[in-house]
Chains A and B, each alone.
Chain A
């Protein structure tokens, strides 16, 4: 419908509105505001115990459209208005626009025809925002000597596969040749240029994170939930840095086992705690599957801090060994309901290690609201450790 209407219109020359929608522009601005609002409340939203399964790549947040407020009269229970049609005084009609208020939601009717926006947020974006918002440090990955090779484009040659023909480049050659006296202005084989590939070596950025969880009888359901949340966000944080991040799940009581992710958080155990078994298991797996030189190894250990007294010396040794095998060991002490730093057996172990200059750090999680502080502590410590290497 580009035909001007009888040539009457002064605007018909410039159909700017076919290229540009102001409505869409302001709609986007609205959505940006909603996103900002969601983002500002993100730490509360994601730490409110709402755990996202490891598989989900997006989170859906239902949000209301923003309202631009104006002065309005208070709603009254009764409205008078005018209608039209076949109705006599005293008739009782049904109001099709009326919806009964949902039970327990205050004075109703306000939600009439309300539109909800389903905001889909990528987990990566959330993590990105959180890192910005919380000013969490970025890790300095340790580049191992092991290298990956990949093909990159490099240079041109006169011979090559047809699919690698660089037309622009070939044409330039033709133009150049044409400039010379007595040249033939058609393509010759001499003009053709083919893109070449070469092997490039890149330092590998491979990492593995061990999530070690104490599932002894003293760990409550809530403790495990806390640990799970913490682990989730830690892994997300590490994923920002490493394209290839492997996860290993280990649980221990007086023994230690490796689990798959789905089993891991379901595991409950009974009986006492022997931390050295957990440390030992992790050490073994590292030695077996993850040659330290190739991997950046991170270990996170969550426990309530009770460790069998008889285990002290063994655990100290096991931890020392582990510290040498890894880039970083984090210990998060889950103490649901408490948030001060407790003097626990395991806590002391890690303090000793830290004093001895190991790349270890510990933190106390009293509730979901502490997760961010814990993450910041750990990532700051990891960054320091990374710089020292």
Chain B
């Protein structure tokens, strides 16, 4: 890869900026396929060691051996952005992929969700993650691999349980309840009080200690790091390191359809408008594009999943055609996948794309009636709450026991008990007091798991 690529890419970049894309400089690096695979497994170029990544690595190796999934590029947002290209790419693929990378870089610089999370985590997540890895390696050297592993077992199991609506560096809860506001002493109040003289007007017992937590808490990583009765400070730091990385991963997860679609839209458009690309490279690149951005595998009629590249790409093409480029730029700033799908996946478009809902039972797949709202929800269902069940920290009892609560109303059914018990076991080793979890069984009746 080559001088040719080196001359082409600055011109593509110039073209992209000319068309209105706005991004931080991107640093490209060609890396061997094995390293691409590791990035896919870890999510970051350098990340903390944990055996669970080893399991994912095995699965990834198997996938690769079976000829699935080849990664062309991975890009990390930031200033500057880091893009890793597979060293196995040809010139055409690299031209396509570089254009794609500029699309991502524009998206992550402008999208509000990305900006908010990056504002919290900083624009140097790659370096932060490497720092965490170093810090954890240091902990391993100091405390031994078993102890650090116990902390990571718990922290990574709760990886998705964060609350991005709260700041990354969050203040602890107030210790005392806010005193009730003194009620205005007006005629109505006096008459109301006269109705029942026994009713306590306002007991002046001084400030009331706030319960812990004052409300069910979604951010389990933070809550444990903040309030575990006997955790050591380095253990809390590990929890917070995992949480910081989750804050980085959240926007990637919650805008996947938009982000991939946007990058695909732009690589297609940039290639189309770049008249300086050699004819053959252009043709090869377009062939590569249509392999990635296609709804169903070449030899099949129907797919039982949706290719986010294709869905996002089609939506963006439609938006630009119908409403113009400026509207598209505004949407890429404001929306996340939830808004994007609900606002822009119309009935006509869904029909045109051949999207359908289905019900699978005992290996039998039945296609359901068309219903746009239900279709939206079916696409978005796996994305709620960072893809994890809604589990809250509800109470810390007097003896220090932690009570978690699964809100089955949000998820429609209860938790997998066997796995939940294992997670509680991970957590109990750090909370060092009993840990309980309230969820529901098949019939919707409450059920308590407890690990002491």
Q: Residue on A with the closest CB to B374? A: A80
Report the Cα distance A293→B304, complex, angstroms. 78
Q: Which residues 64-110 of A have a CB within 8 angstroms of B?
A: 65-98, 100
Please, how many angstroms separate the alpha-carbon atoms of A4 and B46 in the complex? Answer: 20
Contact sample, A vs B, 16 pairs, CB 8 Å cutoff: A1-B87, A5-B30, A9-B27, A21-B34, A22-B42, A68-B51, A68-B52, A71-B388, A71-B419, A72-B420, A77-B362, A83-B303, A87-B302, A95-B363, A115-B58, A115-B62
A5-B85, A6-B9, A71-B420 known; A84 vs B362 contact (CB < 8 Å): no
Interface residues of B in 414-448 (CB under 8 A from A): 414-417, 419-420, 422-423, 426, 442
User: Is the pair A68, B55 in contact by a Cβ cutoff of 8 Å?
Assistant: yes
Shortest Cβ distance from residue B436 to the other chain A in the assembled complex, whole angstroms:
14
Q: Which of B51, B59, B415 contacts A74 (CB 8 A)?
A: B415
The reply to whether A27 and B58 form a contact with Cβ atoms under 8 Å apart is yes
Known: A73-B413, A89-B367, A94-B365. A8 touches B28 (CB 8 A): yes
* A267 interfacial by beta-carbon distance below 8 Å: no
Interface string of B10-35 (1 = CB under 8 A from A): 00000000000000000111111011
A71-B388, A73-B413 are contacts. A84–B296 as well, Cβ < 8 Å?
yes
Instruction: Report the bound CA distance from A28 to B415 in whole Å.
Output: 31
A75 and B416 contacting across the interface, CB-CB below 8 Å? yes
Bound-state CA distance A27–B53 (Å) is 7
Which residues on the B side are within 8 Å of A82 (C-beta)? Answer: 305-306, 355-358, 375, 378-379
Does A23 sit at the interface, judged by CB under 8 A?
yes
Residues of B within 8 A of A73 (CB): 389, 411-416
Rounded to whole Å, the gap between the CB of A372 and the closest CB of chain B is: 26
Q: How many contacting A-B pairs (Cβ < 8 A)?
A: 243
Closest 8 CB pairs of A and B: A85-B302, A26-B54, A98-B363, A68-B52, A23-B57, A69-B422, A6-B6, A30-B54
A83's partner among B1, B29, B304, B415 (CB-CB below 8 A) is: B304
* Complex Cα spacing A21 to B37, Å: 10
Interface residue from A25, A83, A96 paired with B356 (Cβ < 8 Å)? A83
In the bound complex, CA of A82 to CA of B345 (Å): 14
**A167 at interface, CB cutoff 8 A:** no
Known A68-B153, A81-B358, A89-B369; contact A5-B1, beta-carbon cutoff 8 A: yes
Question: Does chain A have a CB within 8 A of B203?
Answer: no
Q: Judge whether B211 is part of the interface by a CB distance below 8 angstroms.
A: no
A17 CA to B30 CA in the complex, in Å? Answer: 12
Rounded to whole angstroms, the CA-CA distance of A70 and B156 in the bound complex is 8
Contact yes or no, A74 B442, CB < 8 A:
yes
Q: Are B359 and A79 in contact (CB under 8 A)?
A: yes
- In the assembly, what is the distance between CA of A28 and CA of B34, in Å? 16
Additional A-B contact list (15), CB under 8 Å, known A73-B416, A84-B306: A69-B422, A70-B159, A71-B423, A72-B420, A75-B416, A80-B358, A80-B360, A81-B304, A81-B357, A83-B356, A83-B367, A85-B303, A85-B354, A86-B354, A87-B367
Residues of B within 8 A of A77 (CB): 361-362
Chain B's nearest CB lies how many Å from the CB of A326? 45
Classify chain B's interface size: 35 or more
Asked if B70 lies at the interface with its beta carbon under 8 angstroms from chain A, I say no
Q: Counting CB contacts under 8 A, is A151 at the interface?
A: no
Tell me how far the C-beta of B366 lies from the nearest C-beta in chain A, rounded to whole angstroms.
6
A92 to B306, CA, bound (A): 18
A86→B301 contact, CB < 8 A: yes
A118–chain B nearest beta-carbon distance, Å: 13
Q: Is A29's CB within 8 Å of the partner chain B?
A: yes
Chain A interface residue count, Cβ-Cβ cutoff 8 angstroms: 60
Could you tell me the distance in whole angstroms from the C-beta of A309 to the nearest C-beta in chain B? 59
> Is A24 close to B, CB under 8 A?
yes
In the assembled complex, A3 has its CB within 8 A of some CB on chain B = yes
> Residues of A at under 8 Å CB distance from B?
1, 3-6, 8-12, 17-18, 21-31, 33, 65-98, 100, 115
A78 to B362, CA, bound (A): 8
Residues of A within 8 A of B55 (CB): 27, 30, 65-68
Q: How far, in whole Å, are A53 and B336 apart by their CA atoms in the complex?
A: 63
The residues of A that contact B306 with a CB separation of less than 8 Å are 82-84
Interface check B452, CB cutoff 8 A: no
| Min CB–CB distance A22 → chain B (angstroms) | 6
| Bound CA–CA A94/B307 (angstroms) | 19
Which of A1, A95, A96 makes the CB contact (< 8 A) with B30? A1
- A341 vs B57: C-alpha distance in the bound complex, in angstroms? 53
Assess whether B409 is interfacial by the CB under 8 Å rule: no
A12→B53 CA distance, assembly (Å): 25
Q: Considering only CB atoms, which chain A residue lies closest to B9 in the complex?
A: A6
- Are B417 and A74 in contact, CB atoms less than 8 angstroms apart? yes
Chain B residues contacting A11 (CB-CB under 8 Å) are: 29
Q: In the complex, A263 Cα to B31 Cα: how many Å?
A: 61
A29–B310 CA distance with the chains assembled, in angstroms: 38
Roughly how many angstroms separate A74 CA and B443 CA in the complex, as a whole number? 12
B103 touches A (CB below 8 Å)? no
Which B291-327 residues have a C-beta within 8 angstroms of A?
Answer: 295-296, 300-307, 310
Whether the Cβ atoms of A92 and B365 lie closer than 8 Å is: yes
Among A18, A21, A84, A100, residue most surrounded by chain B Cβ atoms (within 10 Å)? A84
Q: Which residue of B lies closest to A26 (CB)?
A: B54
Asked, given contacts A23-B37, A66-B55, whether A72 binds B32 with beta carbons under 8 Å apart, the answer is no
* Docked CA distance A30–B38 (Å): 16
CB distance from B88 to the nearest CB of A (A): 8
B112 to chain A: which residues have CB within 8 Å?
none
Smallest Cβ distance from A223 to chain B, in angstroms? Answer: 40
User: How far apart are the CA atoms of A6 and B30 in the complex, in Å?
Assistant: 10
Q: How far is the CB of B31 from chain A (nearest CB, A)?
A: 7
Asked whether A22 lies within 8 Å of B28 as measured between CB atoms, the reply is: no
User: Contact check: which of B31, B32, B85, B423 meets A70 at CB < 8 Å?
Assistant: B423
Q: Which of B51, B378, B406 contacts A66 (CB 8 A)?
A: B51
Chain A residues near B34 (CB, 8 Å)? 17, 21, 23
Closest to B365 in A: A93
**Nearest Cβ distance between residue B361 and chain A, in whole angstroms?**
5
Nearest neighbor of B159 in chain A, beta-carbon distance? A70
> Would you call B355 and A12 a contact (CB within 8 A)?
no
Q: Which residues of A contact B355 (CB under 8 A)?
A: 82-84
Q: Which of B49, B87, B158 contacts A22 (CB 8 A)?
A: B49
Which residues of chain B are near A22, meaning CB under 8 Å?
38, 42, 46-47, 49, 53
Q: With CB as the reference atom, state the residue of chain A lying closest to B41.
A: A23
| Partner pick for A30 among B1, B51, B62, B356, CB 8 A cutoff | B51
Contact between chains at B357 and A21 (CB < 8 Å): no
CB pair A79–B360 under 8 Å, yes or no, is: yes
Q: Return A81 CB to nearest CB of chain B, in Å.
A: 6
Identity of the chain A residue whose Cβ is nearest the Cβ of B60 in the assembled complex: A23
